[in-house]
Structure 1
Amino acid sequence: MSSNMFSSQCEQIIQHLNHKIPGVNTAELCQRIQTSGIEINIGDLAKIANILSFLFSTAARNNLSTEELITTLGSATSTLPKHAVQVIRHIWNEQGKAIAVSEDGRNTVTVGQFIDMKWKLGVAMSSDTCRSLKYPYVTMTLTVADPSGQITDKSFEMTIPQFKNFFRQFKEMASVLETV
């Protein structure tokens, strides 16, 4: 991975840890890396993001200086590419101290964060077991950031009665929120 791509990933992780963005869009970054001609799969990139997130959050919790962070990496720096160590050093030196480590942050519940919702209406015309379905359905795609900051899409389909129930529950939530 190039220094620019690795740097971009590190910066996104720092922003996520600072609660400036809901998560790291690994899918988008993976596509950019693959477009540049580098072979990498999204699973490996997600592992790198998790490791970096752990590294930066642990360094922030322990209030490490840049040199202490690099020293703590110790033997790993001999296996890491030199440009990766330089990027980690630079990013931590420039932005690492900005990571807010609150006492409350250690006790927060680890749940995902809702980012976006898309829907579309479709009609199934036929299947291998039925020639004439004409069955309407709604497909929902939710974009969420999991607790580690990875952004993923979750999709599901609903029948029209299921969608009406879903809509009714959202209206109930909205009316409860108005009273708060």
Structure 2
Amino acid sequence: MLTAEEFYETNSVVDNICRLNPDLLVEPCQHILSYLRGHSKGVDSGEIYDMFQRAGVTLDHESLENVVRFLLLTFRSAGKSKVSADELVSRLEKGSNKWSKESLQVLHSLWNENGESVQVHQATRDLLSVGRIVDMQWKLSMAVSSDTCRSLNSPFVTILLKIAEPSGKINQKALEMTVPQFQNFHKQMKEMAAVMETV
């Protein structure tokens, strides 16, 4: 159940969506659906903002961000829930009574055309998703006792990784390395970074 504030925010976003003529509403939706199908790396709200300005739509940047976020969450949720175009429109109508018939027709048509490929891509992404490093800290210490160091008072490096799992949970992993192992790790990271720049 939506709180009063969430209901007001939803209605405000829906009002802004319904201010767009159907042809203009298609554009941000196509950007979002392209991203959700894996055909682009993201949704460029700056490009959408410029397009709206050229079309004479006066939405401030925050309102546009809210529209893009709402449409992105709507389509992503529909993809994960594997809903049909009719179910999508039904859910939108339950969430707000401010929807125009034309806007709902645009969303219905776009989801009818793209929904299946979004669902397939979302399912694949969920299967292949891995954690993402959100923080990394390291420190150099001296070994007092260790299974890998031959002599005491040998330097070693401790790395603490914070990893955001696909579920949203953040886990911590600690690694201990000798200085030569750390140097090799550093070299491999540099090589990976160089390869990623060429992609």
Task: Supply the distance in 1 between the matched residues of 2:81 and 2:38 (Cα, whole angstroms).
Answer: 19
Match of 1:173 in 2: 190
- For the 8 Å contact 2:22–2:103, the answer to whether it is kept is yes
Higher mean C-alpha displacement, 31-40 vs 67-76: 67-76
Q: CA deviation at 1:175?
A: 7.7
Structure 1: gaps spanning 5 or more residues: 113-168
Task: Supply the distance in 1 between the matched residues of 2:101 and 2:133 (Cα, whole angstroms).
Answer: 35
Q: Secondary structure at the match of 2:59?
A: coil
Match of 1:64 in 2: 83
Question: Normalising by the residue count of structure 2, what TM-score does the alignment of the two structures yield?
Answer: 0.53
Match of 2:126 in 1: 105
- For the 8 Å contact 1:77–1:85, the answer to whether it is kept is no
Match of 1:6 in 2: 25
Higher helix share: 2
Compared CA separation, residues 176 and 87, structure 1 to 2 (3 A): closer
Match of 1:37 in 2: 56
Paired positions, count: 122
Compared CA separation, residues 79 and 108, structure 1 to 2 (3 A): farther
Compared CA separation, residues 95 and 103, structure 1 to 2 (3 A): closer
Query: Any idea what the Cα deviations from partners look like across 1:16-36, whole Å, max 9, x if unmatched?
Result: 111111111111111111122
Match of 2:71 in 1: 52
Structure 2: gaps spanning 5 or more residues: 1-19, 135-185
Q: Does 1:93 align with 2:112?
A: yes
Compared CA separation, residues 109 and 17, structure 1 to 2 (3 A): farther
Question: Normalising by the residue count of structure 1, what TM-score does the alignment of the two structures yield?
Answer: 0.58
Compared CA separation, residues 108 and 9, structure 1 to 2 (3 A): farther
Give the 4+ runs in structure 1 shifted more than 3 A: 106-112, 174-178
**Residue type at the aligned position of 2:73:** F
Compared CA separation, residues 108 and 88, structure 1 to 2 (3 A): farther
Higher relative contact order (Cα pairs below 8 Å, separated by 6+ residues): 1
Query: Any idea what the Cα deviations from partners look like across 1:71-116, whole Å, max 9, x if unmatched?
Result: 122334531222211111010001111111226527544689xxxx
| Paired residues for 1:135-174 under 5 Å | 173-174=190-191
**Residue type at the aligned position of 1:36:** A
